[in-house]
Amino acid sequence: MARRERPTALLVDLDGVLRRWDPERTAAVERRYGLPAGALYDTAMRWSLLQPAVTGQLSHADWLAGIADALAEPAGGPDRARAAVQEWQADRGTVDPEVLDFVREVRAAGIRVGLASNATDLLDSDLALLGLTDEVDVVVNSSKLGVPKPSKEYFQQACLAVGAPPAQVLFVDDSDRSVRGARVAGLSAYRWNGPADLPYLRAALAY
């Protein structure tokens, strides 16, 4: 088996890697509005609703409206569903400080870092809110590209954006599907489990 090239660029996922969410906050909203446990996330992640939003066909606001429509019955009416979705979305998550420190180390070592996210048109606003706008070299937002992870085209565009060929890019994501897609596209890819993975990633980048 051929030895992998040393990565000269890093692509890191936002949600589940650099940004964390508190599941209890979502659970509290669901309890408050009488929704089944997991209803908000499961509905939001339905590909029929999510795909148009993360490929630029629907705005973030329209995506939320679709989620509220789908939850109108279990929430006890459209007004309650809209209120539940609005309350849920008011939480924009928090930055994992250990991952941010890692990103800063990598960039300080001269390795370009790209944020690779299936995201809506709210991403730039979220990055500003979280203080992340200047913490990466490039942002690869699926809703601007018009194609999502784990498509080969997405990863081709992401590698172009970060300025390295696929064989020299390390991709880190918490989704098995995205990791598999990146490998098919020729990238090195690592399935994120948490900050305990950082020593391995530092060694892989060899900076």
**DSSP reduced 3-state for 169:** strand
* Backbone phi and psi for residue 112, each to the nearest 5 degrees, phi listed first: -75, 140
Answer yes or no: are the C-beta atoms of 175 and 12 closer than 8 Å. no
In this structure, what token pair is assigned to residue 168? 């020299």
pLDDT tens sequence across 49-103: 999 999 999 999 999 999 999 999 999 999 999 999 999 999 999 999 999 999 9
Whole-angstrom Cα distance, residue 35 to residue 120? 24
Whole-angstrom Cα distance, residue 203 to residue 207? 8
How would you classify residue 113: left for phi > 0, otherwise alpha for psi between -120 and 50, otherwise beta? Answer: beta
Answer yes or no: are the C-beta atoms of 102 and 201 closer than 8 Å. yes
- Pairing assessment for the beta strands 19-20 and 94-95 based on DSSP bridges: antiparallel
Whole-angstrom Cα distance, residue 153 to residue 141? 13
Position 32 confidence tier, pLDDT thresholds 50, 70, 90: very high
Asked if residue 2 has pLDDT above 50, the reply is no
pLDDT value for 1: 29
Q: Which amino acid is at 145?
A: L
14 CA to centre of own chain: 4
pTM score, two decimals? 0.93
Position 4 confidence tier, pLDDT thresholds 50, 70, 90: low
- Pairing assessment for the beta strands 169-173 and 138-141 based on DSSP bridges: unpaired
Asked if residue 132 has pLDDT above 70, the reply is yes
